[in-house]
Amino acid sequence: MPRREGIYGLLAEFNTPGELVHATEEARRVGYRRMECYTPYPVEEAAEALHFHKNRVPLVCLLGGLMGVTTAFLMETWIAVWAYPLNIAGRPLFSWPAFIIPAYEWTILFSGLSAAFGMLALNGLPQLYHPLFNAPNFRNGATTDKFFLCLEATDPQFSPAGTRNFLEQFHAVSVVEVDH
């Protein structure tokens, strides 16, 4: 694990989503890859500029749903046929149409929980500490009304002075260095 010290990245602040998307597209064009946008609401154009198209939340959700339906249906069958067979008005022990309803509910329960917690896990949340919270202007704006682009120091193209020059050409409100 790399030592967490020194500079995390350079953080540029913008007033509008348009400026952010433009700067991100340009950064991508000149070869930056390790970068991230921070916005107060989802900006799809920023994700496109980052070339972030696919995510695995739907897959996790599908797997959860399949697990839910199998678990519930097998459990009901096992209980009704083997563990506790009861004669209910002469119906067959394996009355599968009746088992569909709890299985349906558990499909939704498991897939919903997988979507929610899978999303958090893929996002690496909860993560109460993050270097960006050290930036003086980040918390004032990123969750309210400002748009940020962070070019991270782990990018091979990154150099404190060169990257700063690159970011400043986009008329950012500010470009600040963020430490770990």
> Which 120-179 positions form the footprint of other proteins (CB under 8 A)?
120, 122-123, 125-130, 132-133, 138-140, 142-145, 169-171
- Minimum CB separation of residue 162 from other proteins in Å reads 15
Is residue 51 a contact residue for other proteins (CB under 8 A)?
Answer: no
Give the nearer residue to other proteins in terms of CB position, either 119 or 173.
119
Q: Which residues contact 77 (CB under 8 A, 6 or more apart)?
A: 94, 96, 99
| Count of other CB atoms within 10 angstroms of residue 174 | 16
- Please select the residue that binds other proteins; options are 18, 136, 160, 162, rule is CB under 8 A: 18
Give the nearer residue to other proteins in terms of CB position, either 108 or 154.
108
Window 65 to 94, contacts with other proteins (CB under 8 A):
72, 75-76, 79-80, 83-84, 86, 88, 91
Q: DSSP string spanning 103-171?
A: HHHHHHHHHHHHHHHHHHHHTT------GGGGSTTHHHHTTTT-EEEEEETTSTT--HHHHHHHHHTT-
